[in-house]
C-alpha cells in the first residue's frame, strides 16, 4: 500500500472556500493600493544568497531556506572540507540561491538593478509569498504571504499620511475596527539621550515594546538586566506610562525632550502626520504610542502598527520610514517608507468576526441540471447568455440522477438551479429554482438573468 502523502511542516493547502476568502483579502488591498497610485511589481521566489545573506542579522541568516545547486555540487570541495562537517561553510559551497525571506530586500535589489528605468518617487506594491525556516507553531508558518507597499525616493511626510489613509481605507472596507498606533524612532532616540543611555537605545526599545505582553515590572527588570541604571529606569517611567490625547502627549514630549534635538525632530514629524490625518478625518482611531518600537535597528523615522480591537491577536499591519534602503547594494541615500499587511492574520480576524461578504466567498451562482443530450444542448445556448451577462454558471457534465445533481448544488452552496425538461424546451424557457426558499418559476433567459442578478 502506498504511503499517505504529506506536505512540509509549516505549509498549508487552501480549499476553494479558503482561496475565495484569501483572494477577497488580496483584491481589497490591491484595489486600495491602486487608488493611491501604487504600481505592482513581482520579484523571483529565489534570490542569490549574496543578495539575502547579512541583511537580517545572524538569526535571520539561519532562517533562510537555501537551494542546493544542481549538477555536481561536490566539485571543488575537498575531502577535508566534507569531513569537517561545518554546515555553514558547506552550505556556502553547495548553495548559491535561497528562497526570499521577505519582500523588502528583493525590492531594494530591484530598485538598484532598475534604477535607470524607474521614475522617482517610486510607489510600488508586492503581494507574494515568502519563506522562513522557522519552527512552525500556531499563527507562524514557513510559507506565508506579505502585502507590501513602499514609496522610495521621497522624504516627504505626506507619504506617511497617505500610507495611514490606505490602512484606514483597507480596514474600513473589511469592516474591522482597528487602532492605528504611531511612534517615531527619533523620539525614542531622544528619550535614550535624555536619560543618559544613548548607547542602549536598542535594549531600551526592545524591552518597552513588550509592555503590553509582560507588564511594567517585567519591563523594568529586563532594563536592569541589560545594564541600564536605576536612575535612568526611574526617568523612563513617566515617559513609558504617558497618557492623554495625542495633542497632550506631544505637548508633554516637547517639554521632556527640550534638550534633545533629535527627539524634538521626531515630535515635529509625529505632530505633522497626526494633525494632517485629523484634518482628513480617519474612520479608525490613531494613537501616539511611545511603547511601539518595531525593530529599531531598521527604521529611522515614523513607525506604525495596527491592532484589531475586537479580536485578541498580534499586530495585523506594520511599517515605517527607513533612510537607506538601497545602501547595502551600493546605492546610498534613497529614503523610503512602507507598510505591510499581515494577510494571514487578517484572514483569521475576518473568520473570527464572520465578516466575509457572501458574494466574496460564493462561487457558482447558477447550476443547469443535465437530463440528457437534447436538454444539455438547449441549456448550453442559455448558459452562454448567462455567462455573457457576468453570472458565474455551470452545467452538470453528466446526465446523472436528479438527487445527485441537487446534492452537488447544495454542497457548493449554489443559490439557483435551472431545470430544463421536455416542457421547458417546448416553451423556450427554463424552470428556475431558488435553493434557499425552494420557490420555482418558469422564466425566459432574460428573466432568469434578472432574477439571479437581483
Please state the residue numbers annotated as binding site for L-histidine: 102-104, 132, 146, 150, 294, 298-299
Closest CA to 160 of 22, 68, 266, 264: 266
Question: Helix 185-194 to helix 246-256 angle, to the nearest 10 degrees?
Answer: 40
What contacts 370, CB < 8 A, 6 or more positions away? Answer: 376, 379, 395, 396, 397, 398, 399, 400, 405
Would you give the end-to-end CA distance of the chain in angstroms? Answer: 52
Point out the annotated binding site. 102-104, 132, 146, 150, 294, 298-299
SS3 150: strand
Distance CA 186, CA 205 (A): 12
CB distance 290 to 199 below 8 Å: no
Q: Is the dihedral of CA 109, 114, 115, 121 positive or negative?
A: negative
What contacts 83, CB < 8 A, 6 or more positions away? Answer: none
What contacts 4, CB < 8 A, 6 or more positions away? Answer: none
CB distance 21 to 362 below 8 Å: no
Amino acid at each position: 500500500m502506498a504511503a499517505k502523502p504529506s506536505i512540509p511542516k509549516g505549509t498549508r493547502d487552501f480549499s476553494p472556500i479558503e482561496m475565495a476568502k484569501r483572494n477577497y483579502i488580496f483584491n481589497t488591498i490591491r484595489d486600495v493600493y491602486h487608488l493611491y497610485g501604487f504600481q505592482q511589481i513581482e520579484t523571483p521566489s529565489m534570490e542569490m544568497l549574496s543578495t539575502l545573506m547579512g541583511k537580517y542579522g545572524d538569526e535571520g541568516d539561519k532562517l533562510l531556506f537555501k537551494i542546493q545547486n544542481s549538477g555536481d555540487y561536490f566539485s571543488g570541495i575537498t575531502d577535508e572540507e566534507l569531513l569537517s562537517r561545518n554546515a555553514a561553510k558547506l552550505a556556502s559551497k553547495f548553495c548559491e540561491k535561497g528562497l526570499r525571506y521577505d519582500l523588502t530586500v528583493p525590492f531594494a535589489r530591484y530598485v538598484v538593478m532598475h534604477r535607470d528605468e524607474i521614475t522617482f518617487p517610486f510607489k510600488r506594491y508586492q503581494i507574494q509569498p515568502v519563506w522562513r525556516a522557522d519552527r512552525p507553531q500556531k499563527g507562524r508558518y514557513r510559507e506565508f504571504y506579505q502585502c507590501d507597499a513602499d514609496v522610495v525616493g521621497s522624504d516627504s511626510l505626506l507619504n506617511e499620511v497617505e500610507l495611514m489613509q490606505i490602512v484606514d481605507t483597507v480596514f474600513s472596507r473589511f469592516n474591522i475596527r482597528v487602532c492605528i498606533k504611531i511612534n517615531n524612532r527619533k523620539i525614542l532616540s531622544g528619550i535614550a539621550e535624555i536619560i543618559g543611555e544613548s548607547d542602549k537605545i536598542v535594549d531600551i526599545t526592545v524591552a518597552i515594546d513588550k509592555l503590553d505582553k509582560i507588564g511594567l515590572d517585567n519591563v523594568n527588570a529586563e532594563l536592569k538586566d541589560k545594564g541600564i541604571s536605576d536612575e535612568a529606569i526611574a526617568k523612563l517611567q513617566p515617559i513609558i506610562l504617558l497618557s492623554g490625547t495625542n495633542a497632550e502627549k506631544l505637548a508633554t514630549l516637547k517639554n521632556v525632550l527640550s534638550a534633545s534635538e533629535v527627539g524634538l525632530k521626531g515630535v515635529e514629524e509625529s505632530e505633522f502626520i497626526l494633525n494632517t490625518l485629523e484634518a482628513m478625518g480617519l474612520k479608525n482611531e490613531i494613537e501616539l504610542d511611545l511603547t511601539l518600537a518595531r525593530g529599531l535597528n531598521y527604521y529611522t523615522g515614523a513607525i506604525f502598527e495596527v491592532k484589531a480591537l475586537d479580536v485578541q491577536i498580534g499586530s495585523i499591519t506594520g511599517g515605517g520610514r527607513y533612510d537607506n534602503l538601497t545602501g547595502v547594494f551600493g546605492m546610498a541615500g534613497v529614503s523610503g517608507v512602507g507598510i505591510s499587511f499581515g494577510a494571514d492574520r487578517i484572514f483569521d480576524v475576518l473568520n473570527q468576526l464572520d465578516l466575509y461578504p457572501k458574494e466574496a466567498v460564493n462561487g457558482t451562482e447558477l447550476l443547469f441540471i443535465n437530463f440528457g443530450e437534447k436538454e444539455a444542448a438547449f441549456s448550453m445556448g442559455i448558459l452562454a447568455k448567462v455567462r455573457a451577462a457576468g453570472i458565474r454558471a455551470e452545467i452538470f457534465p453528466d446526465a446523472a440522477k436528479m438527487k445527485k445533481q441537487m446534492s452537488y448544488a447544495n454542497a457548493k452552496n449554489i443559490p439557483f438551479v435551472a431545470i430544463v425538461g421536455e416542457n421547458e424546451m417546448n416553451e423556450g424557457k427554463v424552470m428556475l429554482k431558488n435553493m434557499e426558499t425552494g420557490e420555482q418559476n418558469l422564466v425566459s433567459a432574460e428573466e432568469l438573468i434578472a432574477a439571479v442578478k437581483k
